[in-house]
Amino acid sequence: MKARIYVTLKKGVLDPQGKAIQRSLSHLGFDGVEEVRVGKFMEVRLGAMGREEAEKLLQDACRRLLANTVIEDYRIEL
């Protein structure tokens, strides 16, 4: 079973990496790019388990390791 996890900064949290990318694009002449925000994206391969079990496992994993829930949101796609 495969799953995808998206970890993004919460709204209002500064994103210096995204800002740096936006500026670099601007220097390269890509003027139409107004804002860039960067997140992480994980593709996870799970062993044999049910959908509910997988959902629970990944929720736990996000809260305990994969996301910093003070400043980040996460989304799980199964």
What does the binding site for a second copy look like in residue numbers (CB under 8 A)?
A: 6, 8, 18, 21, 24-25, 28, 30-47, 49, 53-54, 57, 60-61, 64-66
d(CA 54, CA 1): 9
Whole-number minimum distance, CB 8 to a second copy, in Å? Answer: 7
Q: Would you say 35 or 70 has its CB closer to a second copy?
A: 35
Q: Would you say 29 or 70 has its CB closer to a second copy?
A: 29
Pairing of strands 2-9, 72-77: antiparallel
Q: Are 22 and 36 in contact (CB under 8 A)?
A: yes
d(CA 43, CA 4): 5
Q: Would you say 12 or 31 has its CB closer to a second copy?
A: 31
